[in-house]
Amino acid sequence: MIGLEVCVDDARGLRAAQQAGVARVELCSALALGGLTPDCGLMRLAASLPVPAYAMIRPRAGDFLFDDDEEAMMLADIAAARAAGLAGVVLGASRADFTLDTAMLARLSAACGPMGRTLHRAFDLVPDPAQALEVAVELGFARILTSGGAPTAMEGAEGLRRVAAAASGRIEIMAGSGVNPANVAALVRRTGVGAVHGSCRGPARPSPAAVVSLGFGAERITADSGVVRAMVDALETCRNGP
C-alpha cells in the first residue's frame, strides 16, 4: 500500500485523519503559508492518538535560509516535539544558493534523537536534486517530501520519477502539493513514488459575520474525513491495479 500522510493544522483535521489507511499525520500551523511549527497543545493531542504524528519545524514563512536565532528556535521546537512524545519531525534548511544547509541539518537532526525525520520541500529549491538526495540519505532522513521541483506534484511528475528512481529504495520519496483523490492514482503510476502527502481538505466553513468584521478570519478549511477516505480508496486501486 502506498503510504498516505495527511497534513493538518487544527484539532478537527487531526481527528479526521485518524482512520485506517493513513500512515501518519503532519502537524502544522498556518497551512495557508505552507505550514509552520504547530503549538504544543496540538502536539500533545496528536501524541495521544493512534496515527503517528510528525511536527513541522519551521519558525516563519518565506525562504529556508535560517539565522542563528531561528536555528535556536527550531532546536527548542524539536525539544518540545520530543517532550510531547511525537513520532517525528519535518525539517529543512537552505544556503543562499538554495543548496541544502548540511551543517545546520546535521545539528537539527542530532537534536531529534530517536524521532523520525522527513526532509521538507526545501528540497524543491535545490539546483541539483541528485546531490541533495545523497545528502538526505547520508543524514539519515526517512523520507523526502517533494513536488518534483514544480508548483504541484502533477506538474513535477517527471522530476518525481527521476528522484524516486535515484532513491532506489534507500529513502522514501513522498509526493506532495496539489495531490487529491482525483489525481493521486495517476500520479503514483507515473512516478513510482512510495508515499503521498495531502491536506485532504473539505469545503470552507464561513465564519459568522461578527467574527469576520473584527478581523478574526473569514473561513476555516480543514481536513475532512470523507476526503481522507477517498484518498485511501484511490490509493487502494494502485495496489490492486487499474
Average pLDDT over residues 74-93: 98
Q: Is 70 exceeded by the pLDDT of residue 218?
A: no
Place of cell 500522510: 5
Q: Is 80 exceeded by the pLDDT of residue 193?
A: yes
Q: Is 60 exceeded by the pLDDT of residue 12?
A: yes
Rounded to 5°, the CA angle 70-31-58 comes to: 15
Place of cell 501524541: 47
Residue 89 and residue 112: Cα distance in Å, rounded? Answer: 8
Residue 202 and residue 15: Cα distance in Å, rounded? Answer: 13
Average pLDDT over residues 79-89: 98
Q: In the 8-state DSSP scheme, what is residue 132?
A: H
Place of cell 473569514: 218
Query: Which sign does the torsion angle of CA 58, 87, 121, 32 carry?
Result: negative
Question: How many CB atoms are closer than 10 A to CB 48?
Answer: 9
Contact 176, 200 (CB under 8 A): no
Residue 176 and residue 111: Cα distance in Å, rounded? Answer: 26
The interaxial angle of helices 129-139 and 102-112, nearest 10 deg, is 30
Residue 105 and residue 78: Cα distance in Å, rounded? Answer: 12
Q: In the 8-state DSSP scheme, what is residue 201?
A: B
Task: Write phi, then psi, for 125 (nearest 5 degrees).
Answer: -95, -10
User: Which pairing describes strands 53-56 and 24-27: parallel, antiparallel, or unpaired?
Assistant: parallel
Residue 93 and residue 186: Cα distance in Å, rounded? Answer: 31
Share of the chain above pLDDT 70, in %: 98
Of the candidate ranges 136-140, 188-192, 199-203, the one whose mean pLDDT is the lowest: 199-203
Mean pLDDT of the chain: 94
Residues 6+ apart with CB under 8 A from 170: 137
Annotation: CATH topology of 3-240: TIM Barrel (3.20.20)
Task: Write phi, then psi, for 210 (nearest 5 degrees).
Answer: -65, -35
Domain residue limits, the chain: 3-240
Between the two ends of the chain, the Cα-to-Cα distance in Å is 14
Residue 196 and residue 76: Cα distance in Å, rounded? Answer: 28
> What is the per-residue pLDDT across 44-78, written as a single tens digit (0 to 9) for each?
999 999 999 999 999 999 999 999 999 999 999 99
C-alpha cell at 223: 481536513
Share of the chain above pLDDT 90, in %: 87
